[in-house]
Amino acid sequence: MASAPTKQVVLFPFPAKGHLAAFLSLAGLLHRLLPSTTITLVSTPANVAALRAGAAAAPFLNLHALPFDAAEHGLPPGSDSPDTIIPALIIRLYEAFETLRPAFDGFIASSLAVAGRGWEEDACSADPVPGGPRVVVVSDVFVAWTVEVARRHGCGHAFFVSCGAFGSAVLHSLLTHFPLRPEETTGRVLLPEYPDVVIHRSQVSVRMLHRPPAAGATDHDGGGSQANRRTTFFDRQLPHGYNTDAVLVNTVAELEPAGLAMLARTLKVPVWPVGPLTRDAATDRPDDDDAAVALRWMDAQPPGSVLYVSFGTNGMLRAEHMLELAAALESSGRSFVWKIKPPADEPGHDHHHHNNDSWLPEGFEERVTASGKGLLVRRWAPQVSILAHPSTAAFLSHCGWNSALESLAHGVPIIGWPLAAEQWYNAMVLENLGACVEVARGSGDGTVVGRRRVAEVVETVMGDTAKGRDMRRRVQELRRVMLDAWSDDGGSSIEASQAFLEAMKLK
């Protein structure tokens, strides 16, 4: 009888759509480099069921469901993902995932027992039994507690950062020094670890600028102060970052040398850039009705003529900002595809299924549809297929890292409108690379968005301007850099991936 596999990689993503997509791409990379190694992704039952039902999970990937009942944590039944709940409940999901620790501990123990005899006697050793099984846990930073489980069983551990290196380093610093105190006169937010990095008050979440309410304060849902709970959650997670063996980052060494150095200096562990790990167009579900309509519309447009507009799975604008954006798109005269969602301040709506256009200019959709200049997509936009389409000229984006990499991978310039989290810092990286122009910042009450400014930037990037020509040239250069990172002839991401596997004793 053949012996059981002696090496296994266990992936534990946080189930936001972008995080899952990046982890699935990482699984594909690991399988290419380690074809005989067992690769298992663990999550909650609803997420595992969704992966099994979809086309994203590859046949080589094992899926394991950890027992979880969303209702026990005050979440709607089956709501195991931040993409299916309102923002006010996301902190509950963070906390709920911490309760998965005992089940995850049991899964790791059983994996080691199955993988080889003799392991359990040395389970607390820092090194595996010579010739025995080797299990490495690669987790999301939102389940940082997995470090302790890995240490308890003598497993290797790494974090996989699906965001960029610079954005992750800045966000780590901001969370470490919360609450933030911007300079009164300049609005600058100081980062003690990185004195040369200039961050402005407008580039951080409002909730990070204030102390949370006192413990015991309650919010509208009776679950305690969201701000306080969020703060204590990150206080629990941040120390784990210093106890891991390594950090993998979905970036390219040549794109973010400063960000990678910042992360390594702060965490004091090896940091390996293994990107770009991006979705394939095949995962865009081309048989979906919305996708088919969008791609047929794209086929009818001239090359390099379409602006793609999307703010990601969870990004939402305010109603007044949507009005300004719609007016700018119409006045620009440029063709566009807009993946549209209700505004952030629209009460009582379903963000994924809606037909109420009261927050758009009167007659807007009818006019752009009749003229053939615009297409509004309300359910599913095949983003990778759109970015890969020859008709696409630019991408008005929230600057989520997955979207940024997908845009650069297809040589598409970016018009940046960062909304939250590390997106502001991604926009800084993209602008420094010459691939992006920031048109607006945030979605709060203080955000200033003018239709004239938006229309001017759209024309600058898409038109026959010096800036537009330079951006189009630059994104093609960056696309080549990203391709070369995976060259068998010394590509930086290939070398980093191999170094990681050797350090983890997987090769």
Q: Which two tokens stand for residue 210?
A: 């204030």
Kindly state the average pLDDT of the residues 9-17.
Answer: 92
How many whole angstroms separate alpha carbon 141 and alpha carbon 289?
35
Give domain status of residue 471, yes or no: yes
Q: Which domain holds residue 449?
A: 284-484
Q: 3-state class of 87 per DSSP? A: helix
Kindly state the average pLDDT of the residues 117-121.
Answer: 40
Kindly state the average pLDDT of the residues 472-478.
Answer: 97
What CATH code is carried by the domain that includes residue 392? 3.40.50.2000
Q: What is the DSSP letter of 201?
A: G
Q: What is the pLDDT of residue 291?
A: 78
Contact 243, 220 (CB under 8 A): no
Last residue of a domain, one of 119, 144, 162: 162
pLDDT of 127 above 50: no
Query: Cβ neighbours of residue 127 under 8 Å, at least 6 residues apart?
Result: 154
Helices (H) and strands (E) in the chain, counts: 17, 15
Identify whether residues 149 and 293 lie together within a single domain: no
Identify whether residues 144 and 293 lie together within a single domain: no
Last residue of a domain, one of 124, 140, 162: 162
Q: Which two tokens stand for residue 496?
A: 């980093």
Q: Which of 39-43, 178-182, 328-332, 502-506 has the lowest mean pLDDT?
A: 178-182
* Identity of the amino acid at 198: V
Give domain status of residue 206, yes or no: no
The residue ranking higher by pLDDT, 126 or 346, is: 346
For the segment 240-266, what is each residue's pLDDT rounded down to a tens digit? 878 899 999 999 999 999 999 999 999
Give domain status of residue 185, yes or no: no
For the segment 431-473, what is each residue's pLDDT rounded down to a tens digit? 999 999 999 988 777 777 888 999 999 999 999 999 999 999 9
Which of 234, 233, 214 lies closest to 224, judged by CA? 214
Kindly state the percentage of the chain with pLDDT values over 90: 52
Q: For 313, phi and psi rounded to 5 degrees?
A: -65, -40
Contacts of residues 467-472 at CB distance under 8 Å and 24 or more positions apart, as own/partner, are 467/437, 468/413, 470/434, 471/413, 471/434, 471/435, 471/436, 471/437, 472/411, 472/413
Phi-psi region of 187 (alpha: psi -120 to 50; beta: other; left: phi over 0): left
Which stretches of 197-339 are DSSP H helices?
A: 226-237, 257-267, 289-299, 319-332
Q: What is the pLDDT of residue 350?
A: 46
Number of structural domains found in the chain? 2
What DSSP string runs through 124-165? T-SSPPTTS-EEEEEE-GGGTTHHHHHHHTT-EEEEEE-S-H
Query: Cβ neighbours of residue 52 under 8 Å, at least 6 residues apart?
Result: 63
Identify whether residues 324 and 457 lie together within a single domain: yes
The dihedral of CA 71, 213, 426, 377: what is its sign? positive
Give domain status of residue 113, yes or no: yes
Q: Which two tokens stand for residue 507?
A: 């090769």
**Predicted structure pTM score:** 0.88
Give domain status of residue 170, yes or no: no
For the segment 74-100, what is each residue's pLDDT rounded down to a tens digit? 888 878 888 778 878 888 888 889 999
Q: Cα 383 from chain centroid?
A: 14
Give domain status of residue 480, yes or no: yes
Contact 8, 34 (CB under 8 A): no
Give domain status of residue 4, yes or no: no
* Identity of the amino acid at 473: R
Q: For 300, phi and psi rounded to 5 degrees?
A: -85, -5
Give domain status of residue 174, yes or no: no
